[in-house]
A and B are shown apart, each in its own frame.
Chain A
Amino acid sequence: MTDAAARIPAGARFDFWPRLFGLVTICAALLVAEFVIRGGLINRFIVPPPSEVIQALYRVVVQEHVFRRFLATAAECLIAGSMLTLVGVATGVAMHRYKLLQQACETWVASIAAAPLVIMYPLFLVVFGRNALTIIMMGFIAGLPPAILKTIEGLAATRKVLVNVGKSFKLTGPQQFWKILFPAALPTIFVGVRLGLIFALINVVGTEFLISYGGLGALIADLAERYDLAGTYAAICFVILVSVLCFVLLEKIERWLRPVD
């Protein structure tokens, strides 16, 4: 075994071959699809060959102003995310502070989380118009319940010993909150914010697609309406790529915030 190999942890060494196998399998599947479509077994006007999709990816990025659209979607997500963080955390804190309010409303919030809120987009179109505000509000309301619920959960799970330490130092209410409760609950709160952001992203892109307005979602709708099949597939791949990058980034921040056990 070489020095370099010896330095790699055993778990990572075990991960290499399965990951390679996964990647090779996907590449092989794409290759098979390429031959099957080019051979005429699948109609290329329904499923374009993967090579055409890859070529279209470059075309879509250059000609369809993908980065401008990406910035539009990112801005909508950022505004919706900031709103849901502020409102969600503040509501969660208020519900934790006033137990009666929590007992009365927590099940309602959990129920709202189970409701298909995104179907309200026609209503939002009427109320706010066909503009970015509708998209932002759809992202905001979809992401709000997890942010509220996780804030309550995080604050309620603060260790009793930490609260007692605060009391022994005769901390005032706001001091107790900012020095003890909030820092202890922050990792769980961030889990809620992360979930909220994921729901917001899903709803923002989904609403953009449905109302054909805004950034990346609208791009897919535009290309599909132009019957640019390879472009549509390429745009979908681009959206998936952006979503995955967002999730990875949010996970990294969450891990950074999580206390070491």
Chain B
Amino acid sequence: MAETGRLRQAARPAPLIGPVTLLRVAIVLALLASWEFLARSGWLYRDVVPSLLSIARATADLLTHGQYYYNLGVTAGEIAIGLLIGGGGGLVVGILLGGSRFLSKAFEPYLYYLGPTPKIIFLPIAIMWFGVDTPSKIAIGTFSCFFPIALNVAAGMRQIDRVLIRVGRSFRATSLQMVLKIYLPAMRHPIINGVRLGFGFALIGTLLAETRFSNKGVGFQIMQADSTFDMPHMYAMLVVLFVLAIGANALIGRLGGLDQIKRS
């Protein structure tokens, strides 16, 4: 009887919606209901918390206008170039620091402590050096992503299995071959992790630089919505931006296989 009962229990189909999904839906609905209540309550200044309908309309309007895609393209381009220059520099510096204990002890503390300082304060310098147009935004993006990538690569370099390095040397591999065949493949995960962090910092740096002195880019468009008190559009832009940023972050992690490390 007990066996039959167990079989019957095992055969019972799983519920279509699990308790976790139910709770998530409940939380989202509660948040949306609270938002709508706050929007209609009149407790805050009108339009500071716009209704959900007006935010949805603004989002649809945003996504159907070419201007937003142009600004998004400008910001994406600035971030991509910043990531390329800062990431490339970070990779080279990281390999040098990770490969030499002496250089690491000489210079890594400076990178370690400069890394978390707010990079946006360098904007006046970037503007003096590169002008108010796109290059100063790229410079801030570059500077922002350089530190996490360099530090991650240096740490990853130190974690490489010594046997792999000895194998490379026993085959008399040149320095370039060592980098391309041993170091880079062995450091894939720390590099991707660094790029993911660097992407986040480059994104923040570039967007903030665009909010300060700019005439294009998503940061500029957000400031335009702010100056015209177009709150529904501002919320719409923030929501779309957060979704894109979180998606891009997850994508970089997935492409680099970071999700598989966490699962294993």
Contact = CB atoms under 8 A, between A and B. Distances in A.
A111 B246 contact: yes
B127 to A, nearest CB: 8
Contact of A22 (B20, B110, B222): B110
Contacts of B238: 119-120, 123
A243 interface: yes
A244 B110 CA distance: 9
Contacts of B219: 119
Contact of B124 (A115, A122, A206, A220): A220
B23 interface: yes
Contacts of A125: 226
B43 to A, nearest CB: 12
Interface residues of B, number: 52
A126 interface: yes
B117 A243 contact: yes
A236 B203 contact: no
Given A21-B106, A240-B114, A105 B27 contact: yes
Contacts of A111: 246, 250
B56 interface: no
- Most chain A Cβ neighbours within 10 Å, of B114, B129, B204, B226: B204
Interface string A12-42: 0011011101100110000000000000000
A-side interface mostly: helix
Given A115-B245, A119-B207, A120-B238, A26 B118 contact: no
A237 to B, nearest CB: 10
Contacts of B128: 46-47, 229
Interface stretch (B7-15, B86-94, B227-235): B227-235
Contact of B203 (A25, A116, A123, A210): A116
A116 B245 contact: yes
A100 B229 CA distance: 40
B19 interface: yes
Given A46-B129, A116-B241, A243 B116 contact: yes
Contact of B121 (A120, A217, A248): A217
Interface in A88-105: 100-101, 103-105
B194 interface: no
A190 interface: no
A198 B113 CA distance: 11
B102 interface: yes
| 4 nearest A-B residue pairs (beta carbon) | A22-B106, A224-B124, A18-B105, A122-B226
Given A122-B223, A233-B125, 16 more contacts: A19-B105, A21-B102, A26-B110, A46-B129, A104-B23, A114-B200, A115-B242, A118-B204, A119-B211, A122-B226, A209-B121, A217-B121, A221-B124, A229-B128, A239-B118, A239-B121
Interface of A: 14-15, 17-19, 21-22, 25-26, 46-47, 100-101, 103-105, 111, 114-116, 118-123, 125-127, 198, 201-203, 205-206, 209-210, 217, 220-221, 223-224, 229, 232-233, 236, 239-240, 243-244, 247-248
